[in-house]
Amino acid sequence: MSKSCKINHPCVLDSTLTHGFIGFKGLIVASSGLKNEVKTIASIINATGGTYIEILERNASVLIINPKDADYQKPIYAKKRRIPVVTLNWLLQSLALDRPQAYAAYDIPDSLWQQYKHAEGKEMAQTVEHDENAAKLPPKAVGQVKR
């Protein structure tokens, strides 16, 4: 794979298939925030022996994210279930070096984890506030029939 290739460029998939790279065999890969690259990533993962899944599940091996565009829910879900969360560079380097790289080297920074946790906390607080406001409403009359 040429260093000038980007993930959504055809040369990435062509190079991967030409070399016969099967290093993702057995991996179940999900993504978040990758928008235009999703189809290419799914093709690469599937062509190299792995399985790409649209919806993050407990059995996922790794979650690849674009930190700028990922919603916080998938990374938080993954982290709570000890699913590695890595940047797209993990995939690119794994392809460039013809073997999956260690996840830890491509983990997202602690500052971003803090942002995700903050967003999760805000959403939880809004849910609690909504539930408390709903509890203040008078209960609907159940079983009342006009006569």
Residue 2 forms part of a structural domain: no
The token duo for 129 is: 């506030």
pLDDT in tens, 1-28: 444 455 554 445 455 554 566 688 899 9
Q: Which of 28-42, 95-109, 113-127 has the lowest mean pLDDT?
A: 113-127
Count: domains in the chain? 1
Maximal CA-CA distance, the chain: 80
Specify the CATH number for the domain of residue 15.
3.40.50.10190
Give the structural domain span for 68. 10-132
C-beta atoms surrounding 42 within 10 Å: 18
SS3 (DSSP) at 86: strand
pLDDT at residue 74 greater than cutoff 60: yes
Q: Going edge to edge, which strands form the sheet with 85-87?
A: 51-52, 28-32, 62-65, 85-87
